[in-house]
Amino acid sequence: MTYELEKYYNKFCEDKRLLRKYGQVEYITSMKYIHEFLRDNKETKVLDVGAGTGRYSVELANEGYDVTAIELVKHNLGVLKSKGSSVKAFQGTALDLSRFEDNTFDVTLVFGPMYHLYTFQDKVKALSEAKRVTKAFGTILVAYCMNEYSVLTYGFKENNIRTSIEKGKLTDDFHVISQPEDLYDYVRIEDINKLNEEVMLERIKIVAADGPANYMRQAINCMDEETFTLFMKYHLSTCERIELLGASGHTLDILRKK
């Protein structure tokens, strides 16, 4: 699995995705909610699990926060370190944060790992580790790839639906069945709720991180700045609405350690 991720991220540039207009929707939204819980307190200790190339961790460190990053893929870690920030960056996995003591961080970000973990048990382990290293009443922000986005785009828009069904990649009610070779796993809100119940984390709120942006990539990328500003105003005013959550490309689940 590590080899497949290395191979994928050696070619895929996450920074470039988040810099395109459609990718900025997710980034701007996520940063808005991160800052809501940092509360401009520069004493806040932040852990970024699955930090990728440091799009979030480097920016937060540059703002003056105490940031530690864990990243599995060597290529991504090298890019992160090359940015010359104050981030304390280590290679490691979300499934084992044993280098950190219990109750160390005020805010923990888990923005990549849940995309690439396929079993309920591994997701529980990653979420449990994030909980363990987070201080009591601290905040954990977890990102997920959503099921309906995958079915509607890859399945129907790109005309892979019949092949996916024939290969056993979908249940009868159209829930994606992912394997490690698929690289990404997709969930529904009830799957996320089940994880939170298992790990005993309290939800503060859940957000449609990019809402309809991934369905509108070309249109958003072509927007002038005034129109894009209006789109972001619309998105940020609606991204907590429950009717938009399941169809979003990504969700951001914001949790409190009890």
Query: How confident is the model at residue 139, as a pLDDT?
Result: 98
Q: What pLDDT is recorded for position 84?
A: 94
Closest listed residue to residue 69, CA positions, set 101, 97, 39, 41: 97
Q: Which residues 6+ apart lie within 8 Å of 206 measured at CB?
A: 189, 192, 240, 245, 251, 252, 253, 254
| pLDDT band per the 50, 70, 90 thresholds, residue 3 | low
pLDDT band at 1 (very low <50, low <70, confident <90, very high): low
Annotation: CATH topology of 2-146+187-256:
Rossmann fold (3.40.50)
DSSP state of 152: I
Global pTM value: 0.92
φ and ψ of 182, to 5 deg: -80, -15
User: Is the pLDDT at 253 greater than 60, yes or no?
Assistant: yes
pLDDT confidence of residue 75 = 94
Query: Above 70 in pLDDT, residue 16?
Result: no
Give the mean model confidence (pLDDT) for residues 116-142: 97
* Per-residue pLDDT band at 243 (split at 50, 70, 90): very high
Sequence-separated (6 or more) residues with CB below 8 Å from residue 257: 131, 134, 135, 136, 137, 138, 139, 140, 201, 202
State residue 180's pLDDT score: 83
CB 69 within 8 A of CB 54: yes
Neighbours of 111 (CB within 10 A): 25
Number of Cβ atoms within 10 Å of the Cβ of 236? 16
Strands 45-49, 105-110: pairing kind: parallel
pLDDT attached to residue 258: 87
Strand 134-145: give its sheet, edge to edge: 88-91, 66-71, 45-49, 105-110, 134-145, 250-256, 202-208
pLDDT one-digit tens code per residue, 18-57: 668 899 999 999 999 999 999 999 999 999 999 999 999 9
Question: Regarding beta strands 250-256 and 66-71, do their DSSP bridges make them parallel or antiparallel, or are they unpaired?
Answer: unpaired
For the residues 65-76, what does the mean pLDDT come to?
96
Q: Write out pLDDT tens, residues 195-219.
A: 999 999 999 999 999 999 999 999 9
Query: What is the tens place of the pLDDT at every residue in 151-181?
Result: 999 999 999 999 999 999 999 999 999 988 8
Q: Could you give the CA distance from residue 212 to residue 250 in angstroms, rounded to a whole number? A: 10
Residue with tokens 């470039």: 16
Percent over 70 (pLDDT), the chain: 93
Share of the chain above pLDDT 90, in %: 90
DSSP state of 95: T
Cα dihedral sign, 62-65-67-73: negative
- Report which secondary-structure segment, H or E, holds 62: helix 57-62
